[in-house]
Amino acid sequence: MNPPERPRVFVALRLQSDAKARIEAVCDVDYFEGQGLPSKSELIAGVAKADGLLGSAQLPVDSDVLAAASKLRVVSNFGVGFDNVDLDAATKGGVLVCNTPGVLTDAVADLTLGLILALARRLPEAERFARDGDWQRGARMALGTDVRGKTLGIIGLGRIGVAVAERAHAFGMSITFHDIFRQPPIETPPCSYRELDDLLAVADFVSLHVNLRPETRGLIGARELTLMKPTAYLINTSRGQTVDQAALVAALRSGELAGAALDVLEEEPLPPDDPLAALPNVILLPHIGSATVETRQAMRDLAIDNLLAALRGERPEAVVNAEVLS
C-alpha cells in the first residue's frame, strides 16, 4: 500500500518553530497544547487519526493507546529509552518504534561523572554552607574522598556505560562492569567483567546504565544493597524503576550505604512527601541527563528524521523493532 500523500502526525511535546516547520512541510500536524505530558485520554484522542506520533520517552504508549490508533505507523520517541512503549503490542500492530541513541551519550556520561564527583566531594553540603553564610562549619565539614584509585562498577556497558568508563579512567578510577550482553574484558578504557554480586561487593561507586526491561526492573533491591560496601555510593541516570527505592531509603538511613545520586526516580516527579527528599546523603535531580542545548537539539532532529523517514516508508536511522519493516 502506498503511504498517504500528507500523513497526519500528533506531536505530544513542545517544539521550536523551525522543528514544527520541518514536520508541517510534509505532514498535517496536531499539537498537544496542554501542560506537561498528555493524559491517557488526551493521547488516545490525539493519535486516533494519526499516522505518526512524536512524543517524549516518558509518555506511556500502552496497548490501549495503540489499539485506539488504527492508522498509526510510527511512534518516534524523543529519547533513547523506549520502555514507555508497549513494544510487543506495537510490533504486532506493525507500528515502528524509534528512539534517539548516540546523540545523548556524552551528556548523560558527563552528568554521571558530575554526580560521582559531587558525591565524593560532598558538593551539595558544601554549597549549602557557603550559601547560608556558614563558612566556618563548611570548612570543618566531613572530608570528601578522592576518586583516583577508587573502583567504579558500571552496570550496563552500552554506549553510555563506555562513555562513563572513558571519563572515569581519565580520573584515575579502576573500572569493573557487569553486562548481560558482553563479558570479555575491554582494553580501552580498561574494564574488567564481574558477576553482579562481585561488582557490588568491590565497587566504591556503582553506576547504572541499563535499559528498563523486565530483567532490570528492581535490579538493585535490598539484597543487592546489602552486598555493597557501607562506604559506597549508588548513581542512577538510567531509569528509576531499576532500583527498589524503598530498599534504597532503608539502606541510606541505616548507613548500609554512604549515599546516592539519582537523576531518575521510581515515580517522576518525586511525590512531595517522599522520604528520599529528607535524606541528607542523597543528591536528587529532576531527570536532566540529556538536558543540554546541543543534545536536546540533536535528539529533536533525530526524532524528527526518524518520524519522517518512517512516514515516507523508509527505514529510520534509529528503529527499535526493525522486524516490522520485513
Q: Which residues are catalytic?
A: 239, 268, 287
Residue nearer to ligand 8YV on the CB measure, 159 or 182: 159
Stretch that binds ligand 8YV, among 18-26, 76-84, 194-202, 301-309 (CB under 6 A): 76-84
What are residue 97's DSSP bridge partners? Answer: 75
Stretch that binds ligand 8YV, among 55-63, 68-76, 112-120, 165-173 (CB under 6 A): 55-63
Distance of CA 103 to the CA centre of its chain: 13
Residue nearer to ligand 8YV on the CB measure, 81 or 200: 81
Which three cell numbers mark 122? Answer: 560532598
Q: How far is the CB of 52 from ligand 8YV (least distance, A)?
A: 17
10 binds ligand 8YV, rule: CB under 6 A: no
With a CB cutoff of 8 Å and minimum separation 6, the contacts of 223 are none
Give the interface size with ligand 8YV as a residue count (CB under 6 A): 11
With a CB cutoff of 8 Å and minimum separation 6, the contacts of 167 are 109, 110, 112, 113
Q: What angle do CA 269, 46, 15 make, to 5 degrees?
A: 60
Runs of H (alpha helix) within the chain:
17-24, 40-47, 63-68, 87-92, 105-120, 123-131, 135-139, 159-170, 196-202, 222-227, 245-254, 293-311
81 binds ligand 8YV, rule: CB under 6 A: yes
Task: Say which amino acid occupies 248.
Answer: L
57 binds ligand 8YV, rule: CB under 6 A: yes
Instruction: Show contacts with ligand 8YV in window 100-119 (CB under 6 A).
Output: 104
Residue nearer to ligand 8YV on the CB measure, 37 or 141: 37
Of these, 11, 12, 76, 78, which contacts ligand 8YV (CB under 6 A)? 78
Distance of CA 206 to the CA centre of its chain: 16
The closest of 37, 162, 106, 137 to 296, measured between CA atoms, is 106
Instruction: Show contacts with ligand 8YV in window 277-296 (CB under 6 A).
Output: 287, 289-290
Distance CA(130)–CA(150), nearest Å, equals 28
Distance CA(171)–CA(238), nearest Å, equals 22
Burial grade of 76 (CB within 10 A; 0-12, 13-18, 19 or more) = buried
Residue nearer to ligand 8YV on the CB measure, 104 or 265: 104
What are the phi and psi torsion angles at 49 (to 5°)? -115, 10
58 binds ligand 8YV, rule: CB under 6 A: yes
Q: How far is the CB of 264 from ligand 8YV (least distance, A)?
A: 7
Residue nearer to ligand 8YV on the CB measure, 176 or 245: 245
Q: How far is the CB of 53 from ligand 8YV (least distance, A)?
A: 14
Of these, 38, 46, 79, 114, which contacts ligand 8YV (CB under 6 A)? 79
Of these, 12, 29, 43, 80, which contacts ligand 8YV (CB under 6 A)? 80
Q: How far is the CB of 136 from ligand 8YV (least distance, A)?
A: 40
CB atoms within 10 A of CB 156: 24
Q: Which residues bind ligand 8YV (CB under 6 A)?
A: 56-58, 78-81, 104, 287, 289-290
